[in-house]
Amino acid sequence: MKKIIKNLAFLITASLSIAAIAQPQDTVGFKYDVVVSNPLAVVAAFDKYRSGAAGTNSDVVVTLHQYLANGTSPATHAVTVAYSSPQVMDAALAAQATSPEWAVFQLELRRASEIFSSTMWRSLGLNAGNSDVQNAPMAAGNWVYVNVDDPAAYAAAWQEWVDAEASEDSQFALIAIAADGADGATHAVINTARSPGAQFAQRNDQTAFTKFRKSVSGIREVKERVRLVKVKSW
């Protein structure tokens, strides 16, 4: 089992929805699985920091999610951070290194939570469906992490499926995993609905989904499946 990281060092910005959804290809970011002992205190810390001068940055989106199902992982929540470009990420990380407000924010988070694991990702610019779905108050995600042997073939098959499946009530995104420790995923498939219950809606095109699964069965291995619901975005 992965060790819980004692130093809660979120690389957010001098300013976890996976804001990669419906983002341009330059978008990069992090996802942190977190063991939260005081959810209200975590939300309050983000509210305080993101509303201050040091934490305000429209080029960075931060989302706190609560896990609904994540197997045996002790993580209770996930934080996703999306930077509009690698340059924005670099500037944010440099600024936060000398920010007194950032230091206070980190202290407040350490009192209420611990990081369990972390992932770096980048957008491929591949998506389908209604991007407004992620703004729903209880937007729910079905995240599937996969190890892909042929990324180009997988992406083409995935895009064909989601183009047939997408509707006004769903949003799909395929992102690349740049690093995830020893987990071994190369990509994440993110399916978002307006609520946890809406995730169980009948597929619009079962034939397209069956074709997709058959076409990628020999080039991908599913590493993990999790379900989450959005708590708040900043």
Residue 202 lies in a domain: yes
Residue 7 lies in a domain: no
The chain-wide mean pLDDT, for the chain, equals 90
Q: List, as one string, the DSSP characters of 157-195.
A: HHHHHHHHH--TTEEEEEEEEEE-TTS---EEEEEEESS
Residue 3 lies in a domain: no
Q: Helices 39-51 and 100-112: crossing angle, nearest 10°? A: 170
Most distant CA atoms of the chain, gap in Å: 55
Q: Which of 4-8, 39-43, 160-164, 196-200 has the lowest mean pLDDT?
A: 4-8
Look-up of token digits 């740049």: 178
In DSSP terms, 221 is beta-bridged to: 147
Q: How far is CA 141 from CA 21, 102, 189, 206, in A?
A: 11, 29, 10, 20
Lookup: tokens for 122: 């980048």
Residue 17 lies in a domain: no
Q: Which residues contact 120 (CB under 8 A, 6 or more apart)?
A: 28, 29, 30, 177, 178, 179, 180
The pLDDT value given to residue 25: 66
CATH number at residue 80: 3.30.70.100
The 10s digit of each residue's pLDDT in 10-69 is 444 333 333 444 455 689 999 999 999 999 999 999 999 999 888 888 899 999 999 999
Residue 13 lies in a domain: no
Q: Which residue segment(s) compose the domain that 94 sits in? A: 28-233
**Could you tell me the pTM of the whole model?**
0.87
Angle at 26 (CA atoms; ends 28, 178), nearest 5 degrees: 40
Rounded to whole angstroms, the Cα distance separating 88 from 59 reads: 7
Residue 1 lies in a domain: no
Number of domains in the chain: 1
Residue 57 lies in a domain: yes
